[in-house]
């Protein structure tokens, strides 16, 4: 039995210099479909060919190649975070929320690999 109940989705977040250029590349090279660009958050999402798997493009001036962060969909981020923290899981700062869009919390596995929980706020709870 796990501490949290994840949804059947995962986003693989990568950092890129220009989300729009990268989205075009992933579309033409791999056939991924653009879901949306969220310019105020510096974020874009693409539907991959694998059901439930999304590619997230986070825009950064100096991207970190090879640093993919799996982002697990979760229905109640505060409850999940509380359960994981109670079990000794380390988090990187506070849960971040973009009102009406998403809440995210970065955490680490025992080897220091970053992962993230994300609660979609566009869908009623």
How many independent structural domains does the chain possess? Answer: 1
- pLDDT at residue 64 in the model: 78
Residue 65 has pLDDT above 90, yes or no: no
Range of the domain at 33: 6-120
* 66-105 confidence digits (pLDDT tens): 788 999 999 999 999 999 999 999 999 999 999 999 999 9
Which of 46-55, 93-102, 110-119 is predicted with the least confidence, judged by mean pLDDT?
A: 110-119
Residue 60 in domain: yes
CATH of residue 101: 3.10.180.10
Separation of alpha carbons 37 and 97, rounded Å: 17
pTM: 0.78
Three-point CA angle 71, 75, 77, nearest 5°: 70
125, part of any domain: no
Name the pLDDT band for 125 (thresholds 50, 70, 90).
low
Supply 6's token pair.
């994840």
Asked whether residue 41 is domain-assigned, the answer is: yes
């Amino acid at each position: 039995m796990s501490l949290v109940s994840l949804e059947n989705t995962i986003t693989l977040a990568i950092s890129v210099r220009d989300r729009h250029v990268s989205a075009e590349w992933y579309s033409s090279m791999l056939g991924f479909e653009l879901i949306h660009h969220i310019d105020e958050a510096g974020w874009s999402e693409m539907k991959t060919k694998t059901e439930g798997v999304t590619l997230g493009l986070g825009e950064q001036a100096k991207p970190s190649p090879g640093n993919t962060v799996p982002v697990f969909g979760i229905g109640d981020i505060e409850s999940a975070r509380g359960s994981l923290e109670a079990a000794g899981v380390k988090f990187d700062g506070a849960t971040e929320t973009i009102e009406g869009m998403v809440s995210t919390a970065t955490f680490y596995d025992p080897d220091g690999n970053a992962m993230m929980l994300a609660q979609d706020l566009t869908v009623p709870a």
